[in-house]
């Protein structure tokens, strides 16, 4: 089983995104690289803030995703609403979970901030395995997001 090497991913993303400031291009590149780096990742992508309290699907890898998610619903909405990472070991136990895919068993969702501290959206990683993610994954992903999108 292949699991992500956060140091190697940091170097790869640095090389691929150097000088780029378009958030959609950065999201597309990051989603692709992350998705193919870890066998636990069944769906890897971004939901973008497109209106107050509203997320719409952005670049992703995997099967179809939900097109629209209000901040008031689901794991992605909770991450956007609170500004805090959400690690859910069993999505069936999460109140208000939105089942975009019936194969999803666990999720890791992190807010994505730009250099100015504005919320751009969330990074959503779904797994078809229960309890697939660790605190090390949450910390590693947060560091990669800071690196790529410039929020310190």
Residue 99 lies in a domain: yes
Q: Please indicate, yes or no, whether the overall pTM of this predicted structure exceeds 0.85.
A: yes
Domain count, the chain: 1
d(CA 146, CA 122): 13
What's the chain look like in SS3? Answer: CCCCCHHHHHHHHHHHHCCCCCHHHHHHHHHHHHHCCCCCCCEEEEEEEEECCEEEEEEEECCCCCCEEECCCHHHHHHHHHCCCEEECCHHHCCCCCCCCCCCCEEEEEEEECCCCCEEEEEEEEECCCCCCCHHHHHHHHHHHHHHHCCC
Residue 1 lies in a domain: no
CA distances from 57 to 4, 44, 117, 139 (A): 24, 11, 21, 24
Residue 34 lies in a domain: yes
| Structural contact between residues 45 and 61, judged by C-beta atoms closer than 8 angstroms | yes
- Per the structure, the complete domain to which residue 102 belongs is given by 6-149
User: What CATH number is associated with residue 72?
Assistant: 3.30.450.40
Tens place of pLDDT per residue across the chain (152 aa): 689 999 999 999 999 999 999 999 999 999 999 999 999 999 999 999 999 999 999 999 999 889 999 999 999 999 999 999 999 999 888 877 777 777 889 999 999 999 999 999 999 999 999 999 999 999 999 999 999 998 64
């Amino acid at each position: 089983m292949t699991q992500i090497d956060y140091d190697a991913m940091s170097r790869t993303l640095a090389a691929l995104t150097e000088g780029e400031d378009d958030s959609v291009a950065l999201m597309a590149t990051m989603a692709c690289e992350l998705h193919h780096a870890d066998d636990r990742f069944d769906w890897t992508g971004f939901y973008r803030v497109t209106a107050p309290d509203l997320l719409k699907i952005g670049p992703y890898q995997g099967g179809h995703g939900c097109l629209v998610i209000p901040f008031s619903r689901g794991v992605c909405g909770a991450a956007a609403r609170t500004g805090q990472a959400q690690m859910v070991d069993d999505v069936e136990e999460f109140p208000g979970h939105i089942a975009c895919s019936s194969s999803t068993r666990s999720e890791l969702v992190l807010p994505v901030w730009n250099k100015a501290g504005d919320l751009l959206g969330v990074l959503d990683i779904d797994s078809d395995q229960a309890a697939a993610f660790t605190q090390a994954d949450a910390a590693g992903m947060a560091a990669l997001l800071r690196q790529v999108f410039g929020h310190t």
